[in-house]
Structure 1
Amino acid sequence: MADIRSLHDAVADLVHDGDILAMEGFTHLIPYAAAHEIIRQGITDLTLARMTPDVIYDQLIGAGLVRKLIFSWGGNPGVGSLHRFRDAVENGWPRPLELDEHSHAGMANRYVAGASKLPFAVLRGYRGSDIPTRTETVSTVVCPFTGEELAAVAALNPDVTVIHAQQADRNGNVQLWGLTGVQKEAALAADRVLVTVEEIVDTLEPRPGGVVLPTWVIDAVAEVPGGAHPSYASGYSVRDNAFYQAWDPIARDREAFTRWIEENVRNEQSAKAAVR
């Protein structure tokens, strides 16, 4: 059953040094406020998993908290590269970064296998790619019915998954809607689950296409209005496109990045003002 807690306490209890941490959300509902709390608490040696690492992981990597990234694409959407990500890979700053790269289909199937409590998933993919030669989490199996050789990907079971959603009720049931990605699968695959929400309501109203995560699969819910900024929460906020554009020059320069993190994340008063 989910407890309704402060973001600080939920992160402190659920996210630990050395964890495999998934922070999912596609285009919107990206849990930035939770990532910033992780930075403030200095939780380190993390293995990050995410289908589309964007600015949220650029910030965590640049803060020196990440040792490994499991992913299928990385970039600043609509702008360009993730410069803190690139600096870590190319120059080892602020620390070397180990990579486990997959296709989108491979990552999604890894979460599905984890959520299904299966050791691996099968798909038609990776044929002609060199990715299987660079990871131990891709192999092949032969179908016992047709003899066809298929790609196999190891299940991904995060120690903790963090997502953002629009609403939770007072019992800790969560509902998200709009453009969703693999939040449900990543949550069901994890040992521990933290959900930040725009608001807590008395009753969740069913919505066409809405995804409901029941309280019994969630450990903690934290009410964090604006917790997805600079991404958006459908029905609550709009995407801050200017932020993504402004991030590019900040992230290109180590000193500018470090100054931004200190002023806007580690400084809690400034951080509270920045969430909107």
Structure 2
Amino acid sequence: MAKFQSLSEAVAENLKDGDSVAFEGFTHLIPHASAHEAVRQGRRDLTLIRMTPDVVYDQLIGMGMVKKLVFSYAGNPGVGLLRRLRDAVENQWPRPLEVEEHSHAAMANAYEAGAAGLPCAVFRGYKGAGLKDVNPNIRSVTCPFTGEELAAVPAIRPDVAFIHAQKADRKGNVLIEGIVGVQKEAVLAARRSVVTVEEIVESFEGVHPNACILPHWTITSVVQVAGGAHPSYAQGYYPRDNAAYLEWDKIASDRGAFQAWMEENVLAVGPEIFATRVAPLQEAAR
């Protein structure tokens, strides 16, 4: 049964040092507010998991919170590379970073296997690809029925998954509209889960039941954080803040500028700042 909490309470209870954690979102509904609260609480030695690590993972890595990254594609979408991630890999700053790279197909299948309680995911993939030469967790199995050689990767089962959504009702059922990546699978695969939402409503009247992606019994904690996906977007609430992504490339290119930005915009503020950041975007979209 979902518990309604503040963001600080939800992070404190569900995310511990050394955990494997997925802050999942696919261009849309990326849980920035949850990740920033993890920064404020000083979590360490995390294994980050995500299909498409972008700006918020660059921030977590740059703050020295991460020992390992399990991912498929990493970059500042529409802009370029992740400079704090690259600095960690190439220069071990602020600490060495272990990486385990997969394809999107492998990550999606691995999440689904985790959600189903299976030990691994089996799928067609990686034939002729060089990634398996540098990732020992990419293996092959032979189908016992057809003799076909298939790819196999370990199931993904995070200690905790964080996602952002548009709405939750008073029972804790979660509504997601628009692009859905692997948020559902990440929550179902995780041992604990925290869902931040734009608003909490009495019920989902007028909404088709299939839009309720996650029922309340699959979720550990629900938190209302208006604007909690910024600078990514939340369909129906605010658009993507493209300027913020462009600016991040400049900020992250210098260690000192990065640290100063994190101090001013994350460490020195609380989750309520997200609502003020999206207000100009909402006004411009009208």
TM range (shorter): over 0.9
| RMSD, aligned CA | 1.4
Q: Indicate whether 1:249 and 2:245 are aligned.
A: no
1:229 is matched with 230
Q: Structure 2 CA distance, aligned partners of 1:88 and 1:16?
A: 22
1:179 is matched with 179
1:41 is matched with 41
CA deviations over 1:43-78 (Å, ceiling 9, x no partner): 110000000000010010001100000000000000
SS in 1 for 2:163: strand
CA deviations over 1:166-201 (Å, ceiling 9, x no partner): 000111111111011000001100000000000000
2:166 is matched with 166
Q: 1:63 to 1:99 in 2, by over 3 A?
A: same
Deviation at 1:144, TM superposition (A): 0.9
Query: Is contact 2:225-2:272 (8 Å) kept?
Result: no
Amino acid aligned to 2:265? N
1:195 is matched with 195
Amino acid aligned to 1:93? W
Q: Structure 2 CA distance, aligned partners of 1:67 and 1:44?
A: 8
Structure 1: gaps (5+ residues)? none
Q: Structure 2 CA distance, aligned partners of 1:208 and 1:275?
A: 32
2:282 is matched with none
CA deviations over 1:186-236 (Å, ceiling 9, x no partner): 110000000000000000242486242011110000000000000011011
Deviation at 1:135, TM superposition (A): 2.2
Query: Is contact 1:111-1:189 (8 Å) kept?
Result: yes
SS in 2 for 1:117: coil
Q: Structure 2 CA distance, aligned partners of 1:136 and 1:156?
A: 15
> Counterparts in 2 of 1:29-108, with a 5 A limit?
29-108=29-108
CA deviations over 1:96-130 (Å, ceiling 9, x no partner): 11000000000000001000101111111111122
Amino acid aligned to 1:123? F
Q: Structure 2 CA distance, aligned partners of 1:217 and 1:270?
A: 24
SS in 2 for 1:164: strand
Amino acid aligned to 1:263? E
Deviation at 1:133, TM superposition (A): 2.5
> Once the two structures are aligned, what percentage of the paired residues are identical?
61
Query: Is contact 1:72-1:103 (8 Å) kept?
Result: yes
Q: Structure 1 CA distance, aligned partners of 2:75 and 2:209?
A: 31
Q: 1:57 to 1:130 in 2, by over 3 A?
A: same
Amino acid aligned to 2:114? G
Query: Is contact 1:184-1:211 (8 Å) kept?
Result: no
Deviation at 1:90, TM superposition (A): 0.5
Q: Structure 2 CA distance, aligned partners of 1:217 and 1:155?
A: 19
Deviation at 1:269, TM superposition (A): 5.5
Structure 2: gaps (5+ residues)? 279-286
Query: Is contact 2:33-2:271 (8 Å) kept?
Result: no
Query: Is contact 2:106-2:153 (8 Å) kept?
Result: yes
Q: Structure 2 CA distance, aligned partners of 1:93 and 1:37?
A: 22
Deviation at 1:40, TM superposition (A): 0.3
2:281 is matched with none
Give the TM-score normalised by the residue count of structure 1.
0.97
Query: Is contact 1:264-1:270 (8 Å) kept?
Result: no
Q: Structure 1 CA distance, aligned partners of 2:20 and 2:135?
A: 17
Q: How many residues of Structure 1 are paired with residues of Structure 2 in the alignment?
A: 276
Q: Structure 2 CA distance, aligned partners of 1:45 and 1:72?
A: 20
SS in 1 for 2:43: coil
Q: Structure 2 CA distance, aligned partners of 1:170 and 1:211?
A: 13
Deviation at 1:270, TM superposition (A): 9.3
Q: 1:160 to 1:116 in 2, by over 3 A?
A: same
Query: Is contact 1:140-1:152 (8 Å) kept?
Result: yes
